[in-house]
């Protein structure tokens, strides 16, 4: 009962997850280093403004809980390791809060959206070893985001679940599921604009080329 929110999030975003996982296709054997760098840059440009928007929506009592989960510095570290250049956030195109990010107004919104970001650490446990092996990355270099919390991934996920279940009031459960879906969808449009075009406007795509 306590985790009904988390089961709803999982079940009701499963199709979105499958769609994003397929579009990113990170587990393929011919993944190239420049494709991986381009994906990290794109992710970085979404996650940095998303974190500012989400932090602004968190109650002050959860500021520490949120801040220790910030992932933008992990992208900066990965990009610096892979390109040999310092990568401040302004070095990549930023998602615009008004058009590219889900709208976050209340605690249900922010936990629903954060579910997507925190859940990505679970997939990271499979992605990190695969991509590091495929691209022949030295241990600890270029994999900080997908390594996530490392051996603490399970405990950080459980702590996220507990805090989400304790913080989101039952009535706006729908308010948490909708922003989770909106987050997956906006992330997919941002990371894979071509796949989004094909689904939303197949004929326009043909006409544009
Ligand atoms: C691109 C390749 C991806 C693969 C192969 C992948 C794979 C997985 C796997 C295997 C799990 C289950 C892990 C477990 O239960 O221990 C998982 C969970 C999850 N992933 Fe992914 N994932 C990918 C990308 C993403 C991305 C980009 C996001 C969002 C930014 C994401 C969000 C989630 C969420 C929210 C869960 C938690 C589901 C739940 O148990 O409630 N995944 N993923």
CA angle 118, 182, 154 (to 5 degrees): 15
**Domain spans in the chain, listed from the N-terminal domain onward:** 4-16+31-193
Atom of ligand 1 nearest to the CA of 187: 30
Which residue has the CA at smallest separation from atom 28 of ligand 1?
120
pLDDT at 208: 36
Which residue has the CA at smallest separation from atom 9 of ligand 1?
123
Cα 189 from chain centroid (whole Å): 12
CA nearest 183: which of 30, 53, 38, 29? 53
Atom of ligand 1 nearest to the CA of 116: 35
> Whole-angstrom Cα distance, residue 50 to residue 32?
27
120 alpha carbon to ligand 1 midpoint, in Å?
5
pLDDT exceeds cutoff 70 at 85 = yes
pLDDT exceeds cutoff 50 at 7 = yes
Q: Which of the four CATH numbers 1.20.910.10, 3.30.1360.120, 1.10.10.10, 1.10.240.10 does domain 4-16+31-193 have?
A: 1.20.910.10
The share of the chain scoring above pLDDT 70, in percent, equals 91
> Whole-angstrom Cα distance, residue 40 to residue 30?
17
> Whole-angstrom Cα distance, residue 188 to residue 193?
7
Which residue has the CA at smallest separation from atom 1 of ligand 1?
21
Mean pLDDT of 117-142: 94
pLDDT exceeds cutoff 70 at 200 = no
pLDDT tens figures, 20-63: 999 999 999 999 999 999 999 999 999 999 999 999 999 999 99
For the record, the structure tokens of 78 come out as 């990965």
């Amino acid at each position: 009962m306590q985790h009904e929110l988390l089961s709803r999030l999982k079940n009701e975003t499963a199709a979105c997850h499958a769609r994003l996982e397929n579009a990113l296709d990170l587990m393929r054997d011919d993944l190239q280093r420049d494709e991986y760098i381009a994906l990290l840059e794109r992710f970085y440009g979404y996650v940095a403004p998303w974190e500012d928007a989400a932090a602004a929506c968190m109650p002050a009592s959860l500021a520490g809980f949120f801040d220790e989960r910030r992932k933008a510095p992990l992208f900066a570290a990965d990009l610096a390791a892979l390109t040999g250049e310092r990568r401040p956030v302004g070095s990549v195109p930023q998602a615009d809060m008004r058009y590219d990010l889900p709208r976050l107004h209340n605690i249900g919104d922010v936990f629903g959206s954060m579910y997507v970001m925190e859940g990505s650490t679970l997939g990271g446990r499979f992605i990190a070893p695969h991509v590091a092996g495929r691209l022949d990355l030295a241990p600890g270099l270029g994999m900080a985001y997908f390594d996530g919390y490392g051996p603490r991934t399970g405990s950080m996920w459980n702590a996220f679940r507990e805090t989400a279940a304790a913080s989101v009031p039952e009535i706006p459960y729908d308010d948490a599921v909708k922003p989770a879906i909106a987050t997956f969808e906006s992330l997919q449009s941002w990371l894979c604009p071509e796949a989004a075009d094909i689904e939303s406007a197949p004929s326009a795509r043909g006409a544009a080329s």
